[in-house]
Amino acid sequence: MGIDNNLITIRDLVRYATTSFNEHGIGLGQGTESHFDEACFLVLRTLSLPLNSLDIFLDAKLTSTEVELVKKNINLRSKDRIPAAYILQEAWLREFKFYVNEDVLIPRSHLADLLFDQIDVWISNTDTVHTALDLCTGSGCLAVLAAQQFQEATIYASDISKDALSVCVKNIESYRLTDQIIPTESDLFSNIDNQFDLIISNPPYVDQQTMNRLPIEFLKEPQIALAGGTEGIDLIQKIIIEAPKYLNANGVLIMEVGRDRKVIETKFPRINFTWIETQAGRDFVLFVTREDLRLGLTN
């Protein structure tokens, strides 16, 4: 009996997918961190089942059409190394689903965890944020999450890529936030005229050495959304230098910077950065006020 005849239940397909992913050595880190989790995500969402429904449907028998569709997506993931989010055209940050395609980086950000769990620690009164900017917005996921926390704020979602902004608009519309979030085409601050109480950014920050050894899956993402130059801080340093002009007097910048903390502190030794604790450690997200930026840049 061939293996196809043994693929009957969701349990069978999750096992099959996990084995296939292990055998092909797929890259992880675009939403999941294990082959099993990747298999569960791909199988469940191919079948339009909730991500928390594995135990309920584990032994559910599938139709032959469903089995073939899941197998097709497993092959796209394992043999063609297409990221699961692109296959499904969706990515999740906790309970929030976002439309994605190959024009945007697949949503994954320490800033998302901050917006979910810690924003009131760093901004004690969210009502004081009347204007915010999500710089390098990509899919718009952080702008959408920010809109949940700062419900009275006007939020600008800016990106250099028109194609990325088209995805961003889909997500803004999906969450019915067109009255609150303003998509803006801009190369960093070049087309920004406002000042903001808060700027958040997850800019490209991967250094060239790391870019040269990225897994195949990451090479399928737009490289403009990943590459940060030789040391990884080409855009980061531009944002740090220009941000004071676009922050209100009590404004703050919160930016994800990957593993570039040491390079940033060496480049800007006089700026009093605060480093926010995340699940990955204390080196990945910086917090800095306009005043500290101004003082550190002028000394």
What residue ranges do the domains of the chain occupy? 3-88, 102-298
Looking at residue 148, its pLDDT comes to: 97
Whole-number Å distance between alpha carbons of 251 and 202: 18
Q: What is the pLDDT of residue 240?
A: 99
What's the pLDDT at 3? 47
| 124: number of Cβ within 10 Å | 8
**Strands lying side by side in the sheet with 274-275:** 181-185, 154-159, 131-135, 196-201, 247-256, 285-289, 274-275
Give the pTM.
0.95
State the pLDDT at residue 2.
39
pLDDT of 83 reads 99
Tokens of 251: 């404004």
Which residue ranges in the chain fall short of pLDDT 50?
A: 1-3
Give the C-alpha separation, 106 to 102, whole Å. 8
Report d(CA 215, CA 203) in Å as an integer: 20
Residue of 243, 210, 203 lying closest to 224 (CA atoms): 203
Q: Phi/psi at 161 (nearest 5 deg)?
A: -95, 120
Task: Please state the CATH superfamily assignment of the domain spanning residues 102-298 in this structure.
Answer: Vaccinia Virus protein VP39 (3.40.50.150)
Residues 6+ away with beta carbon under 8 Å from 299: 270
pLDDT of residue 34: 98
Cα–Cα distance, 136 to 125 (Å, whole number): 25
Q: Report the distance separating Cα 261 and Cα 127, nearest Å.
A: 30
Indicate the average pLDDT of the chain. 97
In this structure, which CATH number among 1.10.287, 3.40.50, 2.60.120, 1.10.8 belongs to the domain 3-88? 1.10.8
pLDDT (0 to 100) of residue 1: 31
| Cα–Cα distance, 187 to 204 (Å, whole number) | 13
